[in-house]
Amino acid sequence: MLNDLQARIGYAFHDQRLLLQALTHSTYANEHRVEGLVDNQRLEFLGDTIVNAAITRKVFLAFPGFDEGRLTKIRAELVRENMLVRIAQNLELGRHLRLGKGEEHDGGREKPSILADAYEAMIGAVFLDSSFEQACEVVDRHVDGAVGVLADIRISDYKSLLIEHCQARFRSVPELQVTEEIGPEHGKTFVVVVRVNGEIMGRGEGRNKKQASQQACREALKSLNYPLW
């Protein structure tokens, strides 16, 4: 069973115990204390740093013409929990996790936080079993499998980007305002406008205020000729 997982990971462990530890949730370890099992929390702590470093290097090499700000935004998209969850799902990591009975019953194999932590723990295990270079190669392949062409990555937090851009360019922050709520209570559409220095620069619609705000901020960035690659 672990051979199947290792084939999908693209790495064969020399020390299988490291892989098992990476797959061991704290609830499982607590239920099997007499066996002296160690959960994956320490490996997750290590793997978090390795994944961040590997993705930072990947982004740095992939976009030689981008400045620090743009590199930071792309990296942020790639290290988000939902991206790590997507990678974990591609690897079918969830079905190999060792969970306590309660966590199993509560659908722990599909919980984003558990999947993301397990992936980071696994990369920490790869690092300990081999080298930083090997761990980076593994992460590179996983990111490519989840994202496809790295140049096609798109930012999702347009609001934060717009705030940072306005602070740097205008020494002010944009103003967001919900101007309309259309439709019945159970199916509203929200309309948000963004003003920069008092001028409307973007408008967005969405099923919730957050979605509408993100769309409005994206439009504002385009109006300000900010490169969204």
Handedness of CA 136, 137, 143, 146 (dihedral sign): negative
Of the residues 39, 44, 117, 120, only one is catalytic, namely 120
Identify which of 222, 68, 67 has the alpha carbon closest to the alpha carbon of residue 158. 222
Check residue 100 and give left, alpha or beta (phi > 0: left; psi -120 to 50: alpha): beta
Helix (H) or strand (E) holding 195: strand 189-196
Number of Cβ within 10 Å of residue 200's Cβ equals 16
Structure tokens given for 144: 């490519």
End-to-end C-alpha distance for the chain, whole angstroms: 42
Determine whether 106 is an active site residue: no
Determine whether 157 is an active site residue: no
Of the residues 39, 44, 48, 117, only one is catalytic, namely 48
Residue positions annotated with a catalytic role:
48, 120
